[in-house]
Chain A
Amino acid sequence: MIWLTWRQHRAQALATLIGLGAIGVFSLITGPRIAAAFRELHTCLVVPGQDCGLLHESFDRRFNGLQFVIPLYMVVPLLMGVFLGAPLIAREVEQGTHRLAWTQSVTRGRWALTKIGLVAAFTVAATALFAWMVTIWSAPLVAASGDRFGFGVFDLRGIVPIAYALFAVALGTALGASIRKTLPAMAATLGAFAAVRVAVELLLRPRYLPSQTISYSFLQQSPRFGLGDWVLSSRVFDPTGRFVSPDGSITVSPSALAHVCPGVTRGVAFPDKDQVGRCLGQLGVRFVDTYQPGGRYWLFQGIESAIFLSAAAGLIVLAVWLIRRRIS
């Protein structure tokens, strides 16, 4: 059975390894340069009170282009589901070879578990390697931006990529076993995986634990700056607690400003930004942020992985049941 599984899926395995090799080479070429540039920035950042704005800006400008890898890396689990999971059972049934395999001296339960088990193990190993490479490679970029929870950042690092890929393969296998045609199963896997990922990302992930709230003066930087929080919203309230702006920006008409802080606008067309801010701070305008604390990062990685892994387990049980009871 092990040889048979290898022989049937060696092309996919080889393609996966070539893809991983390409990512590895890309990481080895670009990674050291990013790391060196970040070390320079870091030596500035560790000195308290030092203005590293220009250095930061040039770091961002230099490596901003690398964001092109985010969509490419995001589809890696999807590709495994579509090309490894969906054909696993569907192609056998489509070509009738399941009847050949199931009438040898191996029960179909064992046939299914060996096949699915080996492909799942390969998926875990391949995506673990992938996630490890991406995590190390992107560490300086993430440290510079301070954003570990963002779209395309949280999803590509740590342990969640492994859970996504295992889920995608299990989804493809189960859909293949119920649809029994390779191409429709691949298309269904693509659609279902994308839908589940988007739903979890947008609807569930911000709510794994109740978010926390902090309020601080318009004059200040957030007291939680640099703690790696996932800021879900940052809103501005006026002194009476009236909601002013949904996104932390605030539009103030010059006449209103002149009325409140006459000194700021007298004789100038464009009032100084800092002075305006100070004026608003004096007025008692405040930021109210809701956030998930940065310390919950691994907890959130664990919760999201658990969701996708238990879904994968359920789908594998479903696939084995379909194979044993519903296909002939």
Chain B
Amino acid sequence: MNTLALEATSLGRRYGKTWALQDCSLSLPTARVVALVGPNGAGKTTLLHLATGLLQPTSGSIHVLGERPGADPEILGRVGFVAQEMPLYRSFTVAEMLRFGGELNPTWDRSLAVDRLESLSIPFSQKVGTLSGGQRGQVSLAIALAKRPELLLLDEPLASLDPLARRDFLAALMESVAEHGVSIVLSSHLVSDLERVCDHLVVLRNGRVAVDGDIGGLVRSHRLVSGPRHTGALAGVGEVIDRTDTDRQTVALVRTVGPILDPAWTVREVDLEEIVLGYLGGREGSNAPADPTLRAVRPAPSEVGS
């Protein structure tokens, strides 16, 4: 496949005098599950709104599946979107929400939505406003999937869900990836939840792309090194992402370009969360001061929404 799921070139969006997203260039391949990570206000929602055509870029350009987002019904039909807070018509019953999907989408797969919601025992005659958060999330996902999109964008779908509902939601999402080969872009600030399901990572910070790459590759190329307090160069290190200096010691997240063989340094592998936190708290970090325990900058679960 040579069309990309999402391609942005010097994309920027300004609100008044503030740039919510600036000079953003991305190439997201199809058939991937992309995690779009960043703290609140990093530009995740702005990027997703640009990708759905809800917003128009101030500068640069964005294409989804090779087309301009939201330009016509055809591309609207090929891109599914679950907005933040998962808006639904609260006075509609579940059955009416499904009818809504059918009326507005020529590619609607009613049985997909019905089967999915039946298997979750969500009552069709119940008003959407009276469903639990988890159930509403499942209804939103069912509507987005039943239009049979090639690309599904989800804006903080996990934020309003409790851990159990979160697990069920991700399971449902993964099931549909496996069944229909949908490309997915999922924004979140809960990195630990995404580790199991995503294979591509985009980190946004202050409206700019901090890192963009295949998760396997990122994990392979990043290391946490610790050694004597040291300011000089270290062989094998391409870039210091984030460093913490104490009186005697330096601990740093680095991108390696070769093996680090210096015996004075201990080197260990990192997980996705450490990479994300490293990029978020890194050199240009304005969100959190460098801290010996990097985990301390993890956003609290209460900080949902942006």
Q: Which residues of A contact B (CB under 8 A)?
A: 1, 3-4, 7-8, 95-97, 99-108, 110, 325, 328
A105:B104 contact, CB within 8 angstroms: yes
Q: Which residues of B contact A (CB under 8 A)?
A: 49, 52-56, 70, 72-74, 76-77, 79-81, 83-85, 87-90, 92, 96, 99-101, 103-107, 143, 147
Residues of B within 8 A of A101 (CB): 104
Q: How far is the CA of A99 from the CA of B83 in the complex (A)?
A: 7
A100:B88 contact, CB within 8 angstroms: yes
Number of A-B residue pairs with CB-CB distance less than 8 Å in the complex they form: 74
The residue from B85, B88, B89, B147 contacting A105, defined by CB atoms under 8 A apart:
B147
Of A99, A105, A110, the most chain B CB neighbours within 10 A belong to: A105
Nearest CB in chain A to that of B52: its residue: A103
A1:B103 contact, CB within 8 angstroms: yes
30 A–B contact pairs at CB < 8 A? A3-B99, A4-B103, A7-B96, A8-B89, A95-B87, A95-B89, A95-B90, A96-B84, A99-B52, A100-B83, A100-B88, A101-B104, A102-B52, A103-B52, A103-B54, A103-B70, A103-B76, A103-B80, A103-B83, A104-B100, A104-B101, A104-B105, A105-B73, A105-B74, A105-B147, A106-B73, A106-B104, A107-B73, A107-B76, A328-B54
Residues of B within 8 A of A325 (CB): 56
Residues of A within 8 A of B56 (CB): 325
The residue from A3, A97, A100 contacting B103, defined by CB atoms under 8 A apart:
A3
Residues of B within 8 A of A7 (CB): 92, 96, 100
Q: How far is the CA of A101 from the CA of B101 in the complex (A)?
A: 9
Residues of B within 8 A of A8 (CB): 89
Residues of A within 8 A of B76 (CB): 103-107
Q: How far is the CA of A100 from the CA of B76 in the complex (A)?
A: 12
Residues of B within 8 A of A102 (CB): 52-54, 70
Residues of B within 8 A of A104 (CB): 76-77, 100-101, 104-105, 147
CB distance from B120 to the nearest CB of A (A): 20
Nearest CB in chain A to that of B101: its residue: A104
B49:A328 contact, CB within 8 angstroms: yes
B83:A96 contact, CB within 8 angstroms: yes
Q: How far is the CA of A201 from the CA of B94 in the complex (A)?
A: 49
Q: How far is the CA of A166 from the CA of B299 in the complex (A)?
A: 51
**A105-B54 contact, Cβ under 8 Å, with A3-B99, A7-B92, A100-B88:** no
Q: How far is the CA of A153 from the CA of B81 in the complex (A)?
A: 53
Q: How far is the CA of A105 from the CA of B108 in the complex (A)?
A: 10
Residues of A within 8 A of B73 (CB): 105-107, 110
Q: How far is the CA of A96 from the CA of B156 in the complex (A)?
A: 14
**A107-B88 contact, Cβ under 8 Å, with A3-B99, A99-B54, A99-B83:** no
Residues of B within 8 A of A106 (CB): 73, 76, 104
Residues of A within 8 A of B79 (CB): 103
Nearest CB in chain A to that of B89: its residue: A97
CB distance from A5 to the nearest CB of B (A): 10
Q: How far is the CA of A105 from the CA of B52 in the complex (A)?
A: 11
Q: How far is the CA of A106 from the CA of B72 in the complex (A)?
A: 8
Residues of A within 8 A of B143 (CB): 100
Q: How far is the CA of A183 from the CA of B57 in the complex (A)?
A: 31
CB distance from B86 to the nearest CB of A (A): 9
Q: How far is the CA of A190 from the CA of B62 in the complex (A)?
A: 42
Q: How far is the CA of A108 from the CA of B70 in the complex (A)?
A: 9
Residues of B within 8 A of A3 (CB): 99, 103
Q: How far is the CA of A103 from the CA of B81 in the complex (A)?
A: 6
Residues of B within 8 A of A328 (CB): 49, 54-55
Residues of B within 8 A of A97 (CB): 87-89
**Further 17 A-B residue pairs, CB within 8 A, beyond A103-B52, A103-B53, A105-B73:** A1-B104, A4-B100, A8-B89, A95-B89, A96-B87, A97-B89, A99-B52, A99-B54, A99-B81, A99-B87, A100-B143, A103-B80, A103-B81, A104-B100, A105-B104, A107-B73, A108-B70
CB distance from A3 to the nearest CB of B (A): 5
Residues of A within 8 A of B54 (CB): 99, 102-103, 328
CB distance from B138 to the nearest CB of A (A): 15
CB distance from B68 to the nearest CB of A (A): 12
Residues of A within 8 A of B77 (CB): 104-105
Of B88, B104, B147, the most chain A CB neighbours within 10 A belong to: B104
Nearest CB in chain A to that of B56: its residue: A325
Q: How far is the CA of A200 from the CA of B99 in the complex (A)?
A: 45
CB distance from A169 to the nearest CB of B (A): 21
Nearest CB in chain B to that of A99: its residue: B83
Q: How far is the CA of A95 from the CA of B89 in the complex (A)?
A: 8
Nearest CB in chain A to that of B92: its residue: A7
8 smallest A-B Cβ distances: which pairs?
A105-B77, A96-B87, A104-B104, A103-B81, A99-B83, A328-B55, A328-B54, A105-B105
Residues of A within 8 A of B103 (CB): 1, 3-4
CB distance from B143 to the nearest CB of A (A): 8
Q: How far is the CA of A49 from the CA of B85 in the complex (A)?
A: 78
Q: How far is the CA of A103 from the CA of B76 in the complex (A)?
A: 6
Q: How far is the CA of A152 from the CA of B290 in the complex (A)?
A: 73
Q: How far is the CA of A106 from the CA of B107 in the complex (A)?
A: 12
